Amino acid sequence: MTTFNELYPGNYKPNLTHYFIRLLYDKGQLLRMYTQNIDGLERLAGIPSKMLVEAHGTFATATCTVCRRDYNAEELRNDIMEGTIPKCSSCTGVIKPDIVFFGEELPQQFFTYLIDFPRADLLIIMGTSLEVEPFASLAGAVPSSVSRLLINRDLVGPFAWGSPRHNDVAEVGDVVSGVKKLVEILGWTQDLEALMNMDTEKDAMKREE
C-alpha cells in the first residue's frame, strides 16, 4: 500500500512517459493533459500548470481550510514527513493538500474538456483503468472523426467493450515500451533523449549547489 508520505512530491522522478508529454508541449502539439495522478510528476517534467488538468488534484499545492491561504509542497514537507498535521502560519488552521478526497467534487478546471475536446485532432490515452467516473467518460468525449490511441497494459473503456471506432488504435503492453515505440515512429527519439538528459544534468547541478 502506498502511503501519504510516499506520494509527496520529491520522492519520485518523472519517467520517459512524462517527458514524452513534455516533448509534445515543446513541439506545440499538446492541447492539454488530463490526469488522475496526484503525484505532480507532470509538473516536475516541466509541463506548465496551464497545460494540465489535474482532475483529482495535486500534492504540489495546498490551502488553509480556514483562511484559504495558498501553500506549496515544499513549505509543508517537514510536517508531512514527520507525520505532523500542517498548520497555517497566518491563522493556525489546518492546511489541506489540494487533492480531491472520496466524495468531493472535481475541480472546476476539469470541465475545461467541454472546450478542449471538440478542438482535439488526436486523443492519447495512457496508463489508466478508465473505471473512475466522470474521468472515464472523457475517452468518449471527442468526436467520432478524431482518432484515439490507447497505450496501456490492458484494453480498457470503449477499447474493451462495445464497438471500437474505425480509427481507434491500441498498443497493449508496458506503457513506457509503447511510448518508446511511438517516439521511434515519430522520429523523436533523439529529441526525447536530449530532453531527459538536460533535466538529469539540471538535477545534478542542484545537488552540487
Of the residues 26, 51, 56, 77, only one is catalytic, namely: 56
Rounded CA separation 74/101 (Å): 21
Closest CA to 43 of 56, 69, 61: 61
C-alpha cell belonging to residue 190 = 533523439
C-alpha cell belonging to residue 205 = 547541478
Classify 45 in phi/psi space as left (phi over 0), alpha (psi -120 to 50) or beta. alpha
Contacts of 206 (CB under 8 A, 6+ apart): none
149 sits in which H/E element: strand 147-152
Cβ neighbours of 185 (radius 10 Å): 9
Nearest-5° Cα angle at 109, 145 to 56: 95
Alpha helix (H) ranges present in the chain? 4-7, 16-26, 41-44, 73-82, 113-116, 175-186, 189-208
56 counts as catalytic: yes
Q: Active-site positions?
A: 56
